[in-house]
Amino acid sequence: MGPDRTHPAPGAAVRVGVVGMGIRGRMYAAIAQALPEVELTGVCDIAEDARLAAADEFAVPVFEDVQTMCEQAGPEAVVIATPDFAHVGPTLAAIEAGRHVLVEKPLATEVDAARRICDAAEAAGIRGMVAFENHWNPPLSAMKSAAEAGQLGELVSCNSQLDDRIDVPTEYLRWLGRSSPGWFLMSHTVELAGWIAGQRPVEVQARGHTGVLSALGLETYDAIHAVVVFDGGMVGSFSSCWVLPRSLPLAFQFRHEMVGTGGSARADLTDQMLHLAAERYEHPATIGVTMGGSLSSPPALMFAEFVRALAEGRDPPCPLGDGLLNVAAIAAIHSSIETRRAVEVRV
């Protein structure tokens, strides 16, 4: 048995373990190793090739399951970066071992499972956060500040589009056939609108399109459109599609607009201000590049805030309860597509 510290000692580095050594998990492990206030004590993956690659890349103990990682590597906090449909098991295992958790969005893909996570965290007295990283995305954070300063007045309308190129579900993340544009993409935008407006989603109407990805063996929606009503009266229109052509210069499109009685704000993260024409024409991602070794990307800022909250003994932002509400909203969107009716958001 290794050390069993579940609460960071004052001034000591926060000990962190990461579950899922894919794109996001490796990113968190790299961020953890770059932050002096964090010690990466172990990582975990069910796939042997991912474990071997991680052992090479991070030179820390590598485990096959969360329980063993918690027992032997003694992390105080665990980051869950497994596929959308595989957050619940590792999250509950980490909570049962008494570790604080940072869970990738969506918290779960079923409301009951998300509620189980919240209940378990409360019973265990651990701190939890859901990775809604757009809170740390500069243009969107500035939009939130403008709304909080009253510059937009009372928020009445939102238009949000977050899409991916077709190679994201068909080549990069084949497991997305078990997810949807609702879970993978719209979970971001519905949460973002509610956070900026300070309003909770209460009712949805949605429609979806199938056929393109199912013809390629991925049984999921190609596109989802949803109208969401919030408790302060704001109405929002959200669209997410992940069959955009490969010829687009960036892997995603992201446009988010909020309209209020006093003003409006619109962010377009599709064009990241650099147009690069070399071997091929690209709009490389520029928000959040590492400059001079400093980590300035939204997930790095978010992760730093998570560990700072733990070190200071306070709850981090984006609590698990917000993740539960988000799961309820996205589940209601899927239910509305299936029933072709308006569906209430129930947690």
Ligand X SMILES: NC(=O)c1ccc[n+]([C@@H]2O[C@H](COP(=O)([O-])OP(=O)(O)OC[C@H]3O[C@@H](n4cnc5c(N)ncnc54)[C@H](O)[C@@H]3O)[C@@H](O)[C@H]2O)c1
Q: What's the number of CA atoms in the CB half-sphere (13 Å) around residue 307?
A: 28
Q: What's the number of CA atoms in the CB half-sphere (13 Å) around residue 210?
A: 12
Q: Which is nearer to ligand X, 177 or 232 (CB)?
A: 177
Question: Which residues are 144's β-sheet partners?
Answer: none
Name the DSSP letter for residue 216: G
Residue 20 in the binding site for ligand X (CB under 6 A): yes
**Rounded to the nearest whole angstrom, what is the least distance from the CB of residue 234 to ligand X in the complex?**
23
Q: Which is nearer to ligand X, 185 or 228 (CB)?
A: 185
First to last CA, the chain: 38
**Rounded to the nearest whole angstrom, what is the least distance from the CB of residue 175 to ligand X in the complex?**
6
Q: Encode 38-71: b = buried (16+ Cβ within 10 Å), e = exposed.
A: bbbbbbbbeeeebbeebeeebebbbbeebeebbe
The helix/strand/coil state of 279 is: coil
- Residue at shortest CB range from ligand X: 22
Choosing from 21, 43, 158, 206, the residue that interacts with ligand X (CB under 6 A) is 21
Q: Which is nearer to ligand X, 44 or 101 (CB)?
A: 44
**Rounded to the nearest whole angstrom, what is the least distance from the CB of residue 64 to ligand X in the complex?**
8
Q: Which is nearer to ligand X, 13 or 190 (CB)?
A: 190
Return the range that interacts with ligand X (CB under 6 A); candidates 79-87, 114-122, 190-198, 200-208. Answer: 79-87
Q: Which is nearer to ligand X, 115 or 188 (CB)?
A: 188
Q: Which is nearer to ligand X, 94 or 265 (CB)?
A: 94
Residue 328: how many other CB atoms lie within 10 Å? 20
**Rounded to the nearest whole angstrom, what is the least distance from the CB of residue 264 to ligand X in the complex?**
25
Q: Which is nearer to ligand X, 46 or 287 (CB)?
A: 46
Do the Cβ atoms of 10 and 310 come closer than 8 Å? no
> For residue 318, which of 171, 187, 209 has the smallest C-alpha distance?
187
Kindly identify the residues of this chain, within the stretch 150-209, that bind ligand X according to CB under 6 A: 173, 175, 184
Name the DSSP letter for residue 133: G
Q: Which is nearer to ligand X, 173 or 345 (CB)?
A: 173
Contact letters for ligand X, residues 80-119 (x by CB under 6 A): -xxxx-x--xx-------------xx--------------
Interface with ligand X (CB under 6 A), residue total 26
Does residue 61 have a cis bond before it (omega within 30 degrees)? no
Residue 318 in the binding site for ligand X (CB under 6 A): no
Choosing from 2, 7, 22, 295, the residue that interacts with ligand X (CB under 6 A) is 22
Phi, psi angle pair for 237, to nearest 5°? -115, 120
d(CA 246, CA 228) in angstroms, rounded, equals 30
**Rounded to the nearest whole angstrom, what is the least distance from the CB of residue 153 to ligand X in the complex?**
29
d(CA 130, CA 225) in angstroms, rounded, equals 24
d(CA 346, CA 176) in angstroms, rounded, equals 25
Please enumerate in sequence order all residues whose Cβ is within 8 A of that of 332, keeping only pairs 6 or more positions apart, or say none: 201, 203, 204, 343, 344, 345, 346
**Rounded to the nearest whole angstrom, what is the least distance from the CB of residue 277 to ligand X in the complex?**
27
Tokens representing 345?
Answer: 């958001």
Kindly identify the residues of this chain, within the stretch 23-52, that bind ligand X according to CB under 6 A: 23-25, 44-47, 50
Which chain residues interact with ligand X by CB under 6 A? Answer: 19-25, 44-47, 50, 81-84, 86, 89-90, 104-105, 131, 133, 173, 175, 184
